[in-house]
Amino acid sequence: MASHNLKIHEQCSVAPPSAPQTSLPLVFFDLFWLRFHPVERIFFYSLPVTHSNPSIFYTQVVPNLKTSLSHTLQHFSPLAGNVLWPNGSSNPVVQYTPGDAVSVVLAESEADFDHALDNTPKEASELRCLVPHLESSDSHASVMALQITLFPNRGFAIGISTHHAVLDGKSSTLFIKAWASLCKTSDDDSESSPSSLPSLAPELEPLFDRTVIKSPSELGFNASFDLTKLVINSFPGENREERCLKLLPFPPRLEDQVRGTFVLTVADLERLKNRVLSKWDSVDIVEAESNSNSSVSSKPTKLSTFVVTCAYTFVCIAKAWHGVEKEKNKFACGFTVDCRARLEPPIPENYFGNCVWGHLVESKPSAFIEEEGFVIIAKSIHSKIKQMIDEGVFHGVGDAAPRYAALAKEGVEILGIAGSNRFGVYGYDFGWGKPSKVEIASVDRALTMGLAEKRDEKGGVEVGVVLKRPVMELFGSLFRRGLSDE
């Protein structure tokens, strides 16, 4: 799906009909992500021939998508705005001013739609042309950009790029869900007046009230460490001015890299859970030497899908990488936790912004490639989650920056997670059925696996990874073989 197979049909802007000026301060949850790469997703939708014919698509489907987008932005106006740093302000803000709009690219692809939907590993560069560029400079950054790409007579893709300092995964998927809802129920009456704009279901209305987020000191920890600076320091030569808003260059890893989607069925997950539990007492965790104060939890009665999915995938990645490049033998993993329900008092599920906090799993860097690495890492992730539940989501927060720095200095590869199997992305129906495929394109910008629920089985999971071709071949072999082992 090379970019030369893509032609731009139109570049336009879509704005909310009548939203007032708004300004939202970025809070401490947001600031870590200030110069991080955007989160990029692609939703693929199959269409009947009657709608995917180009003349019908551009005259009926696209106007419906644009109108419902405008109506949705009336409820989510900050997404049409920019990240700015006002004079005299200690923190940046997200500001929407009437006249601001979301950039929307309309494109057409000659690529094979079925190939795009296939889970089999394919060139990592193929999807890049379906993802819109998110503008940023030293003084401002766009919040969201969209691209709608037609595959004539087959379907279309919606590519969405969002600024991570403005919204986390739960918030960005809330927006897509709201847009799909208004598009599906739209009568395409583009002449409707602002007074008759469609309303959203209460659970889809975003909550922008930043006062529900307490300060770090109110939450009981010292935020004097600066993870943002830690990120910036990884990019020598980049603008390090404190007030700079230009996104750091996390270029996609494309050369000799392939992207694949791997599926874990409910039956697979049960086998993996049973395997860990059956070996729980016979396999010891040897934790990172710097974490002598942590404790390993006792054997649970059950394990979560999240724990075994992450542990299994991470260990398969580490063993495949080590198998191809012997010197790659030190790994660590981390994950972000949605804090909405874990704060005191809890904040509403529809809070719009960032409300996630990262945790590094406490395991020895060599544990991933040991024979029982899967069991060790599953126990480590489970213990970390239990510790967080028992001692609070910010437990050990002061150790985070030094630990990241120490791991980086030691040459440890840190593996991360994007997305969630709880976002329900396969339920987002714009009126033409649920997505045929959902990809987190931005996993090619870092050592990250993308997580989503399985499209056609409740309780199953899809995992997206981008790896060097020889590593992917070994990863696929290890992943499949491990599911048949008893």
- Tokens linked to 145: 């950009």
Catalytic residue among 112, 188, 226, 429: 429
Across-strand partners of 333? 415
Catalytic residue among 164, 322, 359, 382: 164
- Cβ distance 439 to 128 under 8 Å? no
Q: DSSP code of 421?
A: T
In this structure, the number of other CB atoms found within 10 A of the CB of residue 236 comes to 7
Measure the CA–CA gap between 125 and 441, rounded to whole angstroms. 10
The residues near 40 (Cβ < 8 Å, ≥ 6 apart) are 131, 159, 160, 161, 162, 440, 441, 442
Give the distance, in angstroms, between the CA of residue 300 and the centroid of all CA atoms in the same chain: 29
Measure the CA–CA gap between 351 and 387, rounded to whole angstroms. 25
- Tokens linked to 380: 């480590």
Transcribe 155-186 into DSSP letters: EEEEEEEE-TTT--HHHHHHHHHHHHHHHHH-
In this structure, the number of other CB atoms found within 10 A of the CB of residue 368 comes to 28
- Cβ distance 24 to 210 under 8 Å? yes
Active site residue 399: no
Q: DSSP code of 298?
A: P
Catalytic annotation, residues: 164, 429
